[in-house]
Amino acid sequence: MESIEPSLLSTDIAGASANTDPFKSDNSDNSNECFPDLLISDVSVLNSITERTFCASCNSSRRYFCYTCHVALPITRPLIPLIETLPSKIDVIKHEAEIDGKSTAIHAKVISPDNVDILHYPSGIPDYENDAILVFPDAEFNVEDVSRSLSKAVFIDGTWSQAKKMLKHPKLRNLKRVKLKSRPTTFWRPQTGKSEAHLATIEAVYYFVREFHESLNCGDYDGRFDNLLFLYKFFRDKIPQ
C-alpha cells in the first residue's frame, strides 16, 4: 500500500478560505513571514512543487521530502539548501510515538545530512562520550560553558511528557545538560501548558548551533547556519495569522 504523507498543516489551515491554496505564496504581502532578519534562502521556490513524487530510497509518495528516510526528493534536492558543516555533530533522539510527518527535527537531517542523525528512543540510543551534552530547558549550564572539544550535542524530540520519561534513560540521564538563551517559539503547534520559550526541535537545533559557533569566538555571525530553518520557515509562513 502506498504510504501517504500526513500534512504538517492539515489542522492549522482548516480556517483558511476555501478559495485559497495555502501552498501558493502571495508575494505582495510579507507580513506573515517569520525570521525576516535571517539569511534564509527564498522558500517560495518550493511553491513550484504541486504534486507528490516518489522517494528514491523507499518509493513512498511524498511532497517535499521523505520523513521516513530523512532525505529530500529527487525533484526538491536542487531547491532545498545544504549545509555541509556545523560546529558540532547533532543527534536527535526521537520518541517512538512521535509522528514522523510532524517532526521538525527531520528538517535538520534533510538540510545537513552529514552532521545530523535521527535516532529512535529507546532502542537506538548510543553510548556517548564524556564530553557529549544534552540540550534541554531544565539545565544548569549555558552554551558558553560547553567545551570546544564537544563530541556530540543531543536533542530530544517528543512531547514534553514523553521527554520526562526519555530523560530517565541510562544513556541520557547522566549527560551534562545545557540550556539555550530564552527566546519565544514561532511554532504553530505550541504544547498546552508550556511557555513560549519552549521551542520546536528545529528551532532548538538552530539556536544551539548559532550560540555554540558564537561561543567559539569565530567572529561576527554571518548567517551561515540560517538555512537550517529553511523548511520550517516554508511551512510556518503558510499558517494564517
My answer on whether omega of the bond before 122 falls inside 30° of 0, hence cis, is: yes
Between the alpha carbon of residue 18 and those of residues 8, 15, 23, 234, the distances in Å are 18, 9, 13, 21
CATH number of 83-236: 3.40.1280
Q: Which of 241, 197, 236, 240 is nearest to 38 (CA)?
A: 236
Tens of pLDDT, residues 109-151: 999 999 999 999 999 999 999 999 999 998 999 999 999 999 9
Contact (Cβ atoms closer than 8 angstroms) between residue 53 and residue 73: yes
Tens of pLDDT, residues 178-234: 999 999 888 766 655 555 557 999 999 999 999 999 999 877 899 999 999 999 999
Please check the confidence at residue 17 and state whether its pLDDT lies above 60: no
Between the alpha carbon of residue 225 and those of residues 18, 124, 211, 240, the distances in Å are 37, 27, 11, 27
* Domain extent listing, the chain: 1-6+44-80, 83-236
Tens of pLDDT, residues 20-76: 233 333 333 445 678 999 999 999 999 999 999 999 999 999 999 999 999 999 999
Mean pLDDT of 2-29: 36
What pTM value is reported for the model? Answer: 0.85
